[in-house]
Amino acid sequence: MAKKKPRIDDSIVLFDVVYEDGTRSSRRRVSAAEISDHEGDAHAKTVIMAQDRKISDVSGRDRGSIRSITRSAT
């Protein structure tokens, strides 16, 4: 029997993030409701920066500045 493809969740939007130091974080999740209510993809950068702050608080390691952000291909 063929493997079933995973269903794409419409409530989230995935982004690829490239940081100033050259590291890449793929498929970062942002709520679609947060994006549609504000300035679109530009607001996603703010949301991802907030996620990074929470992660750095827990891990004790700073993630660095975001160089670019693009929607992930699904």
pLDDT in tens, 13-26: 999 999 999 999 99
What is the domain count for the chain? 1
Q: Is residue 3 part of a domain?
A: no
What one-character DSSP code corresponds to residue 39? T
pLDDT in tens, 32-67: 888 876 677 888 999 999 999 999 999 999 989 999
Q: Is residue 2 part of a domain?
A: no
Contact, 21 vs 1, CB < 8 A? no
pTM of the full structure:
0.79
Q: Is residue 31 part of a domain?
A: yes
Contact, 47 vs 70, CB < 8 A? no
Q: Is residue 37 part of a domain?
A: yes
Q: Is residue 56 part of a domain?
A: yes
Q: Give the range of the structural domain holding residue 19, as residue numbers without chain letter.
A: 12-71
